[in-house]
Chains A and B, each alone.
Chain A
Amino acid sequence: MANQKIKTNDVILQTVTQIILFIIIIFSIYLFFAGHNAPGGGFIGGLMTASAIVLLLIAFDIKTVKKIIPINYILLTSIGLMIAVLSGVGSFFYNESFLSHTFDHFHLPLLGETELATATIFDLGVYLVVIGVTMTIIQTIGETE
């Protein structure tokens, strides 16, 4: 009885989670965009975002996290796979072979001269698939009694 009573008082863990979560998610987004020229990319970016959600799951319970992030992760996985496949199919419209990517330089309003590559779209697919698969595994394990 006493253990349960003390266990419910998670103020320190929950407060720190609310602050740390943003650092983790920002760092994962940074890793996602850094993947072209530096260590990073869709895979570890997705894993890091998933780990941020897992930290939320540790600090709060599953129902609360489902209310905060109302995402069907199986659907997210399929959307990611579709984005990855479509980024390969898109090269058919330019008479190129499957998955041949291209890049160009653009002038963006805040960022200035930026190199935008279509490989980012493929990476976005990988990112979504990694988040979806990891969270599906963890939620399935967590929900079974």
Chain B
Amino acid sequence: MIVISKIVIGYLILQGALLSLISSIGIIRLPDIYTRNHAASKSATLGIISILLGVFLDFWIVEGYMNARIILGIIFVFCTAPVAGHLISRAAYNTGIPMSEKTVKDDLRAKKKRSVQ
């Protein structure tokens, strides 16, 4: 039982670290702020949640100590990180930061122009 759970915990923490690494590679490699924000907010959130879940299970099963603060942290990160990404993206769009040259469609610009007129 302990051995199986240790394998699961190790997998969860490795998966979280790997997702965080992929997220940081995405921030370096992607062309403009919106795609970078996509990589940063989505992948890093799941990475952190995986690491926290691994830590929670480790303390619960291996050490026998139930730590509710980690669950609260998981809920908190899951609620706030996407909202932070949304706000950063919206602030970037409203200040007029251009998209990458490969962008083919921008529906929001047409809508904003219509609402001004």
Contact = CB atoms under 8 A, between A and B. Distances in A.
Interface of A: 1-3, 5-7, 12-13, 16, 19-20, 23, 27, 30
Contacts of A1: 116
A144 B69 CA distance: 38
Contacts of A3: 94
A12 B116 contact: no
Given A19-B79, A20-B79, A12 B112 contact: no
Interface string B102-115: 00000000001101
A20 B81 CA distance: 12
A7 B94 CA distance: 8
Nearest to A15: B83
A13 B87 contact: yes
Contact of A6 (B75, B112, B113): B112
A111 to B, nearest CB: 17
Interface of B: 69, 72, 75-76, 79-80, 83, 86-87, 90, 94, 112-113, 115-116
A23 B72 contact: yes
Contacts of A20: 76, 79-80
B interface majority secondary structure: helix
Contacts of B113: 2
B37 to A, nearest CB: 15
A115 B83 CA distance: 41
A1 B86 CA distance: 21
A79 to B, nearest CB: 30
Given A7-B94, A23-B76, 14 more contacts: A1-B116, A2-B112, A3-B94, A5-B115, A5-B116, A6-B90, A6-B94, A6-B112, A12-B83, A12-B87, A16-B79, A19-B79, A20-B76, A20-B79
A20 B73 CA distance: 11
Closest 6 CB pairs of A and B: A16-B83, A2-B112, A2-B116, A3-B94, A1-B116, A23-B76
Contacts of A7: 94
